[in-house]
Structures are given as structure tokens and as C-alpha cells.
Structure 1
Amino acid sequence: MSQITTHVLDTAKGHPAAGIPISLFHLDKGNWIEISQGVTNQDGRIADLLADGITLAAGRYRMRFMLEGYFSSQDQPTFYPQVDIECNLSGAGDHYHIPLLISPFGYTTYRGS
């Protein structure tokens, strides 16, 4: 299982958000380096954002969720064309589940299990 997983849910429609591109970055010496990317499936998830067995080093990471195309495809305006979630990982190999709940004019996130 990928060390970092996500689940994007469209709370305005009450279903998973499919087709959202997501990129994962690591902050390295002041520069953001993209280390992985994927697109949410019909269940709003990316099963393999990181390959099995990859353990990320301690540090700051950013997940970028590109929402504009998702809402545009539904003829829905959006106030937030993208959402960046930054978090600190311990480097201990813990699993991090980072869900994103979206609507055209708001979003929320939390660390899940």
C-alpha cells in the first residue's frame, strides 16, 4: 500500500470526485520537487500514488489537488482552482491518509487513518 493515500469527495453532490489530478511534492533545500502524480479513480482515490515499499524521509510534503477541470467539466464555477495541502512527515514509515472534501466554494481536510 502507498504510504500516502487520499480520497476526494464532492460534498455538494454527495459522491466521490473522479478525474482530479494530484501531484505530491517534497521540500528539498527550499525547492519543491515533484515526486509523484496521479488521477483520482471513480471512487475518488489514487491507489498507487507511491509504489509499495517506498518510505518517505522526514520532512515537509505538499499534495496539490487540481480542481478547476473537475468543476468545469460539470459546468460548475469554482472559487478554488487548486488546493495545496502541506504536512510534515515523521520519516518513521507511518501511513498518512489525507482526504479532501470539496465543493465549488469550499474545502476541508484532515489526517485520516
Structure 2
Amino acid sequence: MGKLSTHVLDTVHGVPAQGVALELYRLDGDSRTLLTQTATNQDGRCDAPLLSGPSLTRGVYELVFHAGDYFARKGVPLPEPRFVDQVVLRFGVANPDENYHVPLVVTPWTWSTYRGS
């Protein structure tokens, strides 16, 4: 059985991003359902998988990372409005028996992701 996990890397400071608030939603047509809210730990990861086993199903999901709030707490000078504030990653799970690791690499000016395992 598969699982969904994430982590956040702060490439401004070269460290895992601790304390980044995030939400996970499941999308079904025009419907958006909140599945979980959590924050990253000292390693920039969540303490447990966001979904695992039968709760991970085929479909479309969104992860929302509150990166702007994280950088503001770190004392990084940010413009108003912030260039990167909430990062919304919409992705699909085609095979829920596989592991889906969706990391965020972020600065106040750019971000990227990839599918890990």
C-alpha cells in the first residue's frame, strides 16, 4: 500500500524548513475537501505520512504550503505583497499502491517540486 509524504527545503538558508504550515486537499470536480493540516518538523518533514494505505486513493490533490509566513518568521525582508506566499501544488495520484513524495524546494522568489519516492 502506498503513501503520500512531503518535505520542504529552504534554499536561501540551505536548511530544512521547520514550521511550514501546510494543508492537503482532495479535488473532485469543483469540490475541494480538506484532508489534513500540519506543519513541518525540524527536518522539514511531516511527522507522519499525509495519507497512507486505503486513505490514499486515485485522484487529484492539492498541497498548500505557507512559505511566505515561514520566510517572514525567519526575518527575511519580503515585499508587500509577497512574490512567493502560498505555494499551491496540484498533482495526481494514478496508482495509490505506489509512494508519492512531493517535496518543495523554495525561496521567497522561486520554488520547484518533483515526484520522489
Q: TM-score, normalised by structure 2?
A: 0.86
Contact 1:38 1:49 survives alignment (8 Å): no
Q: What does 1:31-110 correspond to in 2, within 5 Å?
A: 31-50=31-50, 52-76=52-76, 77=78, 78-110=82-114
- Gapped regions of structure 1 (runs ≥ 5): none
| Aligned sequence identity (%) | 37
Structure in which a larger fraction of residues adopt helix: 2
1:8-42 per-position Cα deviation (integer Å, ceiling 9, x unaligned): 00111100000001111001231111111210000
**Once the 2 structures are TM-superposed, how far is the Cα of residue 67 of structure 1 from its aligned partner?**
1.1
Distance in 2, matches of 1:31 and 1:79, equals 27
**Once the 2 structures are TM-superposed, how far is the Cα of residue 109 of structure 1 from its aligned partner?**
0.5
Distance in 1, matches of 2:109 and 2:71, equals 11
Question: Aligned partner of 2:5: which letter?
Answer: T
Question: Aligned partner of 1:104: which letter?
Answer: P
Contact 1:55 1:93 survives alignment (8 Å): no
**Once the 2 structures are TM-superposed, how far is the Cα of residue 49 of structure 1 from its aligned partner?**
4.0
Which stretches of structure 1, 4 residues or more, deviate above 2 A after TM superposition?
Answer: 49-55
Distance in 2, matches of 1:74 and 1:92, equals 36
Question: Aligned partner of 1:92: which letter?
Answer: P
Distance in 2, matches of 1:54 and 1:28, equals 17
Q: TM-score, normalised by structure 1?
A: 0.89
| 2:22 alignment counterpart | 22
Aligned residues: 113
SS in 2 for 1:27: strand
Distance in 2, matches of 1:97 and 1:38, equals 16
Aligned CA RMSD, in angstroms, stands at 1.9
